[in-house]
């Protein structure tokens, strides 16, 4: 879907995680497909879809015990005139940096400075008044600017056993020993190639491993994506940034779930990525 990367830029920054953001995008798309049947035509489909995504975010915020997503704060505040500088800061900021903002500020800054929506369009998406959006935008920009120089949090492994399992999985991948990789799969393992296909069962997932075995332009490291342990895939010709990543879940020493973002590489935009050594 053409809108999916733009929806992800919004949802990830609202959730403070590229991984949680992808879940919210999926929720929004499912909601949109369900709702579309009730309309003969949709006048502004992009704003309509963002409103559905915004509502999915609000639902998630409620689950996190956060209320009043768009409070009517400081209505006398005027729009910040430093839009160019604010936009550069917002685009460069990591997804997790946006957690320093209250949800109303997050929504205003992401929609205006990251996605380029007008104030009127932000009102339409968030169902907030123009003064409220201006106030949230002003405060959000200032808070994000103050956050810009804050060093990322120190990351450590909570479970040393899972680290050893992931390291072993990565080592076998790098050695192209895919028979040994397959030995780590649970019989009922599930695979999600995000944006492409789903597979279930060790036999089917071995086909996925076979696709990697036929290529030699990648290497893998253990690490973290927005604090979550992950396999980081790099091009052999570059060490600057992973091309994509995969999440691996374990049970009793076997892989029970794989979530590979090879076909959804936009998800890494803005993520805090740390290589584990």
Residues 6+ apart with CB under 8 A from 56: 11, 24, 27, 28, 31
| pLDDT given for residue 71 in this prediction | 42
CATH 3.10.450.50 fits 160-275, yes or no: yes
Angle between helices 18-36 and 45-63 (to 10 degrees): 120
Strand order in the sheet with 228-235: 197-200, 185-193, 254-260, 244-251, 228-235, 218-225, 273-275
For position 182, what pLDDT does the model report? 96
Work out the end-to-end distance of the chain between its first and last CA atoms, rounded to an integer number of angstroms: 37
What was the pLDDT predicted at 152?
A: 58
Listed by start position, the domains of the chain span 4-147, 160-275
3-state SS string over 86-147?
A: HHHHHHHCCHHHHHHCCHHHHHHHHHHHHCCCCHHHHHHHHCCCHHHHHHHHHHHHHHHHHH
Distance in angstroms (rounded) separating the CA atoms of residues 41 and 36: 8
Looking at the structure, give the CATH architecture of the domain made up of residues 4-147: Up-down Bundle (1.20)
Residue 49: the pLDDT is: 87
> What local confidence, expressed as pLDDT, does residue 153 receive?
57
pLDDT along the chain (277 residues), means of 10: 84 91 90 75 80 86 55 41 65 81 91 90 92 92 79 62 92 96 97 94 95 92 92 87 95 95 93 86
Are the C-beta atoms of 47 and 26 separated by less than 8 Å?
Answer: no
């Amino acid at each position: 879907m053409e809108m999916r990367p733009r929806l992800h830029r919004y949802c990830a920054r609202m959730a403070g995680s590229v991984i949680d953001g992808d879940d919210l995008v999926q929720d929004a798309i499912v909601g949109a497909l369900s709702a579309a049947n009730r309309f003969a035509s949709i006048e502004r489909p992009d704003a309509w879809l963002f409103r559905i995504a915004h509502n999915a975010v609000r639902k998630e915020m409620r689950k996190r015990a956060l209320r009043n997503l768009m409070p009517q704060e400081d209505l006398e505040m005027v729009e910040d005139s430093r839009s160019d500088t604010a936009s550069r800061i917002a685009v460069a900021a990591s997804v997790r940096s946006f957690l320093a903002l209250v949800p109303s500020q997050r929504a205003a800054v992401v929609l205006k400075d990251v996605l380029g929506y007008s104030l009127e369009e932000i009102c339409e998406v968030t169902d907030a008044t123009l003064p409220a959006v201006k106030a949230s935008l002003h405060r959000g920009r200032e808070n994000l600017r103050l956050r810009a120089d804050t060093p990322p949090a120190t990351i450590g492994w909570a479970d040393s056993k899972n680290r050893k399992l992931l390291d072993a999985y990565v080592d076998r991948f790098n050695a192209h020993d895919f028979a040994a990789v397959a030995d780590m799969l649970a019989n009922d393992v599930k695979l999600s190639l995000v944006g492409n296909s789903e597979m279930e069962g060790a036999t089917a997932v071995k086909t996925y491993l076979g696709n990697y075995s036929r290529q030699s332009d990648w290497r893998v490291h253990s690490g973290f994506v927005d604090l979550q342990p992950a396999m980081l895939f790099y091009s052999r010709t570059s060490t600057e940034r992973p091309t994509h990543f995969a999440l691996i879940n374990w049970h009793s020493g076997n892989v029970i779930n794989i979530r590979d973002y090879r076909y959804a590489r936009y998800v890494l935009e803005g993520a805090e990525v740390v290589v584990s050594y």
